[in-house]
Homo-oligomer: A and B are copies of this chain.
């Protein structure tokens, strides 16, 4: 998840703990989200909004003979992404600073475009998708992945947990984004002029029989993400400390042995005629 339009307003923040969360998330989720994304030998792939490279590492390793151009608006994120790609021994990635609203590429200059956890932060996702679609050569593809906080389901149910999640949804909306964007990929891509769109949900189901997901997703991805907006939510007057903390505890409660947690990501693949 990277900030392409307004890094100062980026809801998740840029601190170390957040970086760790993003990488934990990528490790836990990468199979679910990316197992069916493979780019052919020699193909030119644009990753729009690579952030610190959380998805890049998976994508580039899965398609070692494809060439990835990964852009982001944040030099600090790009520096981290470069370092991690080098540490992972990847030789098929180039990183470049760029604003998604003014990308320095010619029309049809990529075989494939990939954009993941970026549209949720944009005030004009349709405009961005229209731009990205123009960069794909005829016969190429665009892949977009987003979460949707409206998909959260858990047991035990808790109004306090819903309140804490809603604080993040509201903060993201105030920053011009949309934490409920996943379900909208199909109509957004249609509005951007895409003809052949195929959306597939990626459902994260977590109960005590899946301890790696309890720890990696319920605790370290979702609950940690909500916890991460605590100060901003209190500062913005959306909640009080005690109400927010009760919500976080209720989310942690869903990670116990009789708890259940569910979240859905949406993946859209567009074939450009």
- A residues with a Cβ closer than 8 A to B are 148, 150-151, 153-155, 157, 180, 183-184, 186-187, 190-191, 197-201, 203, 205, 207-209, 257-260, 262, 264
Contacts and interface: CB of A to CB of B under 8 A. Distances in A.
Contacts of A153: 148, 150-151, 183, 264
28 contacts: A148-B153, A150-B153, A150-B157, A151-B151, A153-B264, A155-B184, A155-B187, A157-B180, A183-B260, A183-B262, A184-B260, A186-B207, A186-B209, A186-B258, A186-B260, A187-B207, A187-B259, A187-B260, A190-B258, A191-B258, A197-B209, A199-B205, A199-B207, A199-B209, A201-B203, A201-B205, A203-B203, A264-B264
Contacts of A184: 155, 260
Given A151-B153, A153-B150, A183-B155, A262 B209 contact: no
A183 B155 CA distance: 7
A255 to B, nearest CB: 13
Nearest to A180: B157
Contacts of A203: 201, 203, 264
A191 B191 CA distance: 48
B209 A205 contact: no
Nearest to A260: B183
Contacts of A154: 183
Nearest to A198: B209
A172 to B, nearest CB: 15
